[in-house]
Structure 1
């Protein structure tokens, strides 16, 4: 059985006496001739410094060298070494030491992907202190504030609070950037929530923000309930009514999404917190009831972020502003500020569709203790019999609990495919084989396995989290997929569970019906892939599964999912217009139509998979937006949808646009493949304009094997 390479040794610089005291590169991870030894020894670049010049330990992201046959070979070996050292410091909790590697590197433009990877992974770490966050923000600014995820979504965010929140502006901006949102945070005057919301000429309505955050402390609630240990029911209801009126006013006068934070506990607790007598209740019970009422107030545009959990994770009462409130009217201490800012950034990212959709996990020493190939299915540690086994069982339980949230699970293991039987053979496993939406078991590099998982699940690695117990494997994957996020497992199950939960990578502020069914639908797709391999050609397979599309206009039943798809879909998206509810309603008022397509075959339903916006013109029909889920690609669904568009055109021409982005190269040739002809191209933006005049002489409309039914 091939062995995985041991962890790379840390690189170092030493002084050679034989060379007169000059510095030389040492610490290669293998001896010459081994599989992991590089076939070339690069000549380091030299950069100026105050003490002269010295070899630059930071070569380019990829080295290229021509072989004797003339082919270009790319070497990522240096990035692998450097990233291994960075990750070692980062996951040991030595974030400051890891950042020193970046701070010593000269700025380059465009920003190399390895810098983006290291900045983003450092921001996502949970054990950051305030000074480290300042260093990260300064580093990010020094490199020109690059997008840390591809196809970043710009959003204007207005933060309304009843306390001093100036220190939240750079932190929320930083945490949003790490998740693919370019946030411009606006902060109105101090403690002016009611005045700002109720004044039609205030900055809230002049700035036209995309997201409004209502950020309260317990002092706001005490304005209505007083400082007594017991709270009157009528006073609590008055506070709830006030907040309802504020939210209603924003909804009526602004198209922005609203993010409301729930309330944490007090810095100085009151006695009798859970007492309930007649028309009064204890303070803790009042806060609990207020938060429960607030959670039930959430809707398509109103989302509740769990700041109480963020404060609890940052130390509970120690994170609430006991000292800072007295000195500067700040609601949180530094630990609480960091934790709540991260939670707000996570909520903003979720509204923008920039959430993690899959966890790609290693198996050995990650989901269980030990290696199956050595100890067998019943020799691994997992179950209820020992503390270590129980810890790994809890890791599996946590991964299984993510599935109802729409988080898919993929398995990657450098092993014989037969080891997958462990999930059926060993009854102590919390996970079963059907819990995995994609399986890649074999001896290929894990970066190749991640690429296959991405293709099967229908979205890019930037929406995935990689979990592995080997720093080498994490570094190897990140060299090929620099926008993927990663978590180090081990050295024990408790550390794995702590990192997975505390980093808040799978946080959600709202869920659609599609999210709840995503895992079961992904399993059906896996079964279809297995069935397809038994057919001789794709046409026979498509005829056998009997694909059906149901078309419906925009309505109250599909509105939430339609808006969600506009925020999340990147690859099959011809214009990448991020429409929200108000945008779609305005389009319909102008005479346009929003059509939602749902998919079904013999394996079951895949739910809403495509949206087409059509706008009638004098002599044509304009495809304003066309997006589709990649999980139903290669089934002639797009050809069927186009035949529906031609039918709606009723003999008129069909016009379309292609606006290129970092992610939608998949559909660059969609229009010419459907018979469109190019009429012009806007050079500054790259936007292409296409028109379909109908099938030409001797040609036929695009062929498909799909039945379409309009409701």
Structure 2
């Protein structure tokens, strides 16, 4: 697309800057008729990720999306089933959850259980198959479980036990993830909310105790932070007041928007549809002023001025995001020589080690994003780009329509509000692999530098001192394996999204699991691959073969196949390549590995005894 084709994007970003929700809606109404599907998708995502204080704004966006035929907003849309159980009326959450999920490329079939049937579903209901079962229990449920006031410690203990039984029983009757929202203070504050007396607990402490119990159950269920979501949505004003009296609804409209956003971001992270990289402009985005003009100490950053302090807070937030495993990279129109500012400015919260890659040049920002795509080894649909120049953002979208963008400024508090308020980097479950990813990205940067300095690929590989280990699925690695199964798209031969129950069934049927870890002289990349080899009538079959693109061209594929042949023993080793929008990378893998194409998706290899 030419830059002139994305004028509606420029209009929406200008409306975001001015805080004009009505203008965003008007652009959505007028633009789609003459726009390409990619541009329509970009416009809807901009509108959905815009942080508005008006819940009716999101209802208008949903209405327009519905009238447009609910177009896919990201490539390779994932299909999931979601069940919502609650002790009150929660039907209003459905359009918002559907809308926010669509912005991440997830199409959800959402079922809402009949009113106040959580206990009957958990204790007397039948087994059901959903990818996610979401349980929303209000303060009203807690009031019924803790009948005394002030709350007796005995009642609180009983409520914890009831909650534990409820969570355990429901988890046993659902094939997918069971997630509970945590508890929050309702619309009407409890009297003497912090007053304590012997044998009793103040109400604010009761909520804290029950939420701690939910966290203790996190091995059985997942917990979604509704308390924080409602805080962002206005606190007590988002909790059910008039809606509780009239409809037994635990939330007002703004609260349902907050639930939809919070749950959608958690689901996106869990199934591999969330943002994996944050690309940042520098001047007037991470600090005030232009470092090329003022020098490292002349930029506005630090506690001496309000804006300088605001930029520090923004950097601290981005540093926290980076610590959770999100790659950080720079897209800045600057001389490469200014990179020293990261170490030279004493107020800097982000240092060179935080960045997986720096793209400092005078060319188009889209060219820099293209180079980062190659360096980071994943598509721009998994990237979020923040810049204070709305024309530069539009120029990038014109080349990469599935990238998501955030308009920075003009003040740092607005940047922080837009970046954090959209809840882009939210999750209800993390693995050690997530926390180690920043170090892994640093290792990859050193590998790229060493590769560029080597005279040949063979010399480079020989210098790495590669060590690959393999083990069975166990308690240490299970969460990471399940995460890889949901997230890996490019190097994934069959893209079978096995869950915990599936792995247990396959193990009972005699399948062998291989969990592969990689390390070289630059450091560890952690768990980077997973294979399932199942028994077949005339030998063995590769049910699943997936690998992280971080270790492409490191001869890991050969090691993994060697393990598969070893556990198969003899006879035929068969496998399938099931094409998707994302896995063309491995379309020729079986042929390259010596397999014979036997028709359709099937390949086979004769292995000796």
TM-score (norm 2): 0.96
Establish whether residue 266 from structure 1 lines up as the match of residue 192 from structure 2: no
> Any idea what SS the aligned residue of 2:304 has?
coil
Pairwise CA RMSD of aligned residues? 1.8
Establish whether residue 237 from structure 1 lines up as the match of residue 157 from structure 2: yes
Matches within 5 A, 1:214-293: 214-226=135-147, 228=149, 230-293=150-213
Which runs of 5 or more residues in structure 2 are unaligned?
A: none
The equivalent position to 2:130 in structure 1, one of 206, 209, 217, is: 209
The equivalent position to 1:129 in structure 2, one of 36, 51, 54, is: 54
| CA contact 1:461–1:481 (8 Å) conserved in 2 | yes
**How far apart are residue 82 of structure 1 and its match?**
2.7
Matches within 5 A, 1:75-474: 76-105=2-31, 112-127=37-52, 129-201=54-126, 205-206=127-128, 208-226=129-147, 228=149, 230-299=150-219, 302-474=221-393
| CA contact 2:11–2:27 (8 Å) conserved in 1 | no
The equivalent position to 2:472 in structure 1, one of 532, 537, 553, is: 553
| CA contact 2:3–2:398 (8 Å) conserved in 1 | no
Which runs of 5 or more residues in structure 1 are unaligned?
A: 1-61, 63-75, 682-687, 696-711
> Any idea what SS the aligned residue of 2:303 has?
coil
Partner Cα separation in structure 2 for residue 454 and residue 543 of structure 1:
26
Partner of 2:529: 610
Partner Cα separation in structure 1 for residue 502 and residue 71 of structure 2:
29
Q: How many residues are aligned here?
A: 608
Partner Cα separation in structure 2 for residue 612 and residue 152 of structure 1:
24
Deviations 1:399-453 (A, max 9, x none): 1112221122111111111110111222121111111011111123222222222
Deviations 1:491-521 (A, max 9, x none): 0111111111111111121110111111011
Deviations 1:473-506 (A, max 9, x none): 1111112222221111110111111111111111
TM-score (norm 1): 0.83
Partner of 2:431: 512
**How far apart are residue 106 of structure 1 and its match?**
6.0
Higher helix share: 2
**How far apart are residue 122 of structure 1 and its match?**
0.9
Partner Cα separation in structure 2 for residue 391 and residue 526 of structure 1:
30
Answer with 1 or 2: which has the greater Rg: 1
| CA contact 1:549–1:598 (8 Å) conserved in 2 | yes
Partner of 2:603: 690
**How far apart are residue 616 of structure 1 and its match?**
2.1
Partner of 1:24: none
**How far apart are residue 107 of structure 1 and its match?**
5.3
| CA contact 2:387–2:407 (8 Å) conserved in 1 | yes
**How far apart are residue 105 of structure 1 and its match?**
4.5
Partner of 1:700: none
Partner Cα separation in structure 2 for residue 255 and residue 525 of structure 1:
37
| CA contact 1:95–1:128 (8 Å) conserved in 2 | no
The equivalent position to 1:588 in structure 2, one of 507, 511, 522, is: 507
Partner Cα separation in structure 1 for residue 194 and residue 397 of structure 2:
49
| CA contact 1:563–1:581 (8 Å) conserved in 2 | yes
Partner Cα separation in structure 1 for residue 175 and residue 597 of structure 2:
36
> Any idea what SS the aligned residue of 1:294 has?
helix
The equivalent position to 1:680 in structure 2, one of 577, 599, 608, is: 599
Deviating 4+ runs (over 6 angstroms): none
> Any idea what SS the aligned residue of 1:506 has?
coil
The equivalent position to 1:654 in structure 2, one of 573, 587, 600, is: 573
